Structure 1
Amino acid sequence: MKTSLSGIALAFLPSILAQAQAPAWGQCGGIGWTGATTCVSGSACVETNSYYSQCVPGATPTSSTSYMPTTTPAPGSGKVKFGGGTCSVTGAYPPLVQYYGPDGKGQMTHFVNDDGFNLFRLPVGWQYLVNGVLGGPLYNDTFSIYDTLVQDCLATGSYCIIDIHNYARWNGEIIGQGGPTNEQFADIWSQLATYYQNEDRIIFGTMNEPHDIPDIGLWAQSVQAAVTAIREAGATTQMILLPGNDWTSAATYVSDGSAAALINVTNPDGSTDNLILEVHKYSDEDNSGTHAECVTNNIDDAFAPLADYARGQKRLVLNTEFGGGSGNDCITDIGQQLAYLNQNSDVYLGWTGWAAGSFLAGYTLDLSPVDTNGTWVDTPLVAQALVPAFSGN
């Protein structure tokens, strides 16, 4: 049996093109980062966490750094509904050829037409959207570039995840817990939801990988503020993703209290329709996604217990980030993991792999296809694990 539609959380979206110097608000460090580690004049590299540092203007540098399913599961079809990949847009050079980046549109078109994927995750920095003004309006010069990528995604007929990729923080300060207020967080989502309210294939990814959150109950209140803002802006039927603490790990989503807190997040009418539990899970030795080698398929310690929980709560789950190298170890482990999601498609909607686009050559988890004389060629992991899991070929 195969998981139904798996919104191809394999939906790869190209990441930002690495430059000699990282642009303002671009990534400049972190475990596994192989791009620029210095910033353009006027910005300094500030560590958000051990996996992510960002160029912050005026800062002092720190050390490195429509059919939509309801949330009541239906009998599994033996195939996830969504399959796709992830694309980062966190700097000045997005994965679009008209902005001197790689051919993100071509990559997405290939993933859809040749591989059968139907979901793309499009990460973007909150600061990038508002030109660094907390609580400010969408900044047309940068938002219009991001929207170009979104429109290219929609043009493929796929579902497209709007993913604010800030780890529950603004310049290192936690939303609703000493950093941005819930009202400021709700405001950015209200603006985005107003803009995309009539796009049935937009999925709202409220926040990438919250971590080290002191109070999970307060975090659930922040997520609730975003959900309410999205629905009240007119986006009443689209899916909204609910990310937990600990990098929203599938292995700890229940045990760390995230599930118990987020299960109480509702739509304004009190329903939970299209409020989807969001998880990530890597297969390397420390679950960091920084090693090419895979050591686990994550079934027994993560996806099986979570399936039992979601089934008991009558909720749906989307795995929006996983990846590995292209060795036989990862092809086997990730292939088994995706097969398990297919077998439990009553609760697992699908997945998106990390990541394709404009990574530097040699990036550990690069899933970018290569355009060879007009023919796109996938990485071994995509060709031998992701495509068979979703298309059945």
Structure 2
Amino acid sequence: MLQGTNLTGGETFYQQWSGTSPQVGTHYLFVADKDIDTCVAAGMNCFRLLFGWEAYEYSPEYRAALNGRVNYILSKNCTVVLDIHPGDANYGAAYYGVKIPGFSGGFAVGSRLAKTWQGLATIYQGQPRVQFGLMNEPNGVKPADWFAAAQLCIDSIRAVGNTSTVWCPGADWDAASNWTAANGPAWNLKDTANNLGVQVHMYFDANNGGGGTDIVSASIGVERLKNTVDWARGKGLKVLLGEVGLQASQPLAKTAWGNLVAYMAQEQATVAGWLWWAYGPPIWWSKYQFSLCSSDGAQMKLAFPAPVPPPVDTRDQQIVDLTARVIDLSNKASDLKTMVVNLQSENARWTDRIKTLEARIADAKVALG
């Protein structure tokens, strides 16, 4: 199962730098190698990497920085879900403030989005661990309009031969709790690669948006996610819980989180995994209420308790041991073969020397008469 976190810091709102260029450390700041190392050491194997659509299109330096993070995550044998994430939540499914299905710069926003994803699909062709999240929390747009744009994106990704997983979010803030009602009726997406899944977000507070630290009940996480899981199971689709978080200091935190984790494990035929919200550059994100880089480490301990090594199957261990013995014997046989070749070569040299001496002795006898 995929388990990890959202890597924040790359999301940037175009109005903050419009007319200039996004500046690292001011308008965006991707996490460092050591941050990713910390997450991997905690047991994470997947990262949702947030980036700004307009910044990606505008700035070569920004694109290079994003690519650097992707490559470093891949070097850790982890999965990365690329996610267009506007710096202002109200601008989901929008390009320079224009929402789907509108036009921006003479292009339909949906078509422009598809072009961006096709470019990324081309760059990461042949990298199945680079997956595509399309858009963070589409809102202020009709589900039918959003899914029409999403279909364009899927088709554009497949058109260049990229068959990696596409995780499609839903309209209405992508909430797991009301997916069936908000998005189910309009869902009509097709994927020629048969590698399409649903991405949803879910929090434990009364508002269901993560703005509060309250936890409604110990079972609320399961209840909210179940709405999407039951629907997806009927469609033969996988579900990625792309954002989830709660405050470790709340009395119900450990129980509520444990119940959700157990439920996801039980439903792993449908639930592909979960990604905590969030881990960002500590200088920017250490004080956020759900941050995994908090100074006390409480959130990390809740979400990722010390990993327990999986039990080793005795038969598997025997196979490992036998394989090691075969390799050792093969190496020894190779060494013996080399020794035999060397001895044969040495024997040939001595044979030549003996023949030379015998010839000299014969010549000496002739000379002596």
In the other structure, the counterpart of 1:185 is 113
Q: CA deviation at 1:259?
A: 2.9
Letter in 1 for 2:158: R
**Other-structure match for 2:63:** 143
Aligned length: 296
In the alignment, the residues of structure 1 paired with residue 286 and residue 228 of structure 2 have an alpha-carbon distance, to the nearest angstrom, of: 35
- Counterparts in 2 of 1:155 and 1:115: CA distance versus 1, 3 Å: same
Q: Which residue of structure 2 aligns with residue 319 of structure 1?
A: 241
What's the CA shift for 1:118? 0.5
Q: Hey, what does 1:47 align to over in structure 2? A: none
Shift of 1:334: 2.1
- Do the aligned partners of residues 293 and 388 (structure 1) sit closer, same or farther apart at CA in structure 2, a change above 3 Å counting? farther
After TM superposition, the structure 1 = structure 2 runs for residues 89-168 of structure 1, keeping only pairs within 5 Å, are: 92-96=27-31, 104-112=32-40, 114-131=41-58, 139-166=59-86, 167-168=92-93
Larger proportion of helix:
2
1:130 Cα shift?
1.1
Counterpart code for 1:26 = T
Whether 1:380 aligns to 2:302 is: no
Counterpart pick for 2:132 among 204, 228, 236: 204
Distance 1:392 1:251 in 2: 33
Name the stretch that deviates more: 317-326 or 356-365: 356-365
SS at 1:160's partner residue?
Answer: strand
Residue among 11, 14, 18 paired with 1:57: 18
State the percentage of identical aligned residues: 27
Query: What letter is aligned with 1:246?
Result: D
TM-score relative to the length of structure 1: 0.69
DSSP-derived class of the 2:128 partner = coil
Structure of greater relative contact order (alpha carbons < 8 Å, 6+ residues apart):
1
Secondary structure of the structure 1 residue equivalent to 2:203: coil
**In the TM superposition, what is the alpha-carbon distance from 1:229 to its structure 2 partner?**
0.7
Which of 275, 287, 292 in structure 2 is aligned with 1:352? 275
Q: Any unmatched runs of 5+ in structure 2? A: 87-91, 312-369
* Residue 90 of structure 1, CA deviation: 10
Q: Which runs of 5+ in 1 are unaligned?
A: 17-24, 28-42, 44-53, 60-88, 97-103, 132-138, 371-377
CA contact (8 A) 1:14 1:355 kept: yes
Q: Distance in 2 between matches of 1:178 and 1:251?
A: 31
Q: Is the 8 A contact 2:135 2:169 kept in 1?
A: yes
SS at match of 2:181: coil
Scaled by the length of structure 2, the TM-score of the pair is 0.73
Distance 1:205 1:107 in 2: 22
Q: Deviations over 1:233-258 (max 9, x none)?
A: 2212x1001110111110111111x1
One-letter amino acid matched to 2:68: T
Query: 2:286 touches 2:293 (CA, 8 Å); kept in 1?
Result: no
Q: Give the alignment of 1:61-100 within 5 angstroms.
A: 92-96=27-31
Give the secondary structure class of the aligned counterpart of 1:252.
helix
Measured after TM superposition, the shift of residue 58 of structure 1 is: 5.2
Aligned partner of 2:189 among 265, 279, 304: 265
- Equivalent residue, structure 1, for 2:207: 286
Do 1:293 and 1:329's aligned partners in 2 also have CA atoms closer than 8 Å?
no
CA–CA distance in 1 between the matches of 2:271 and 2:203?
Answer: 17
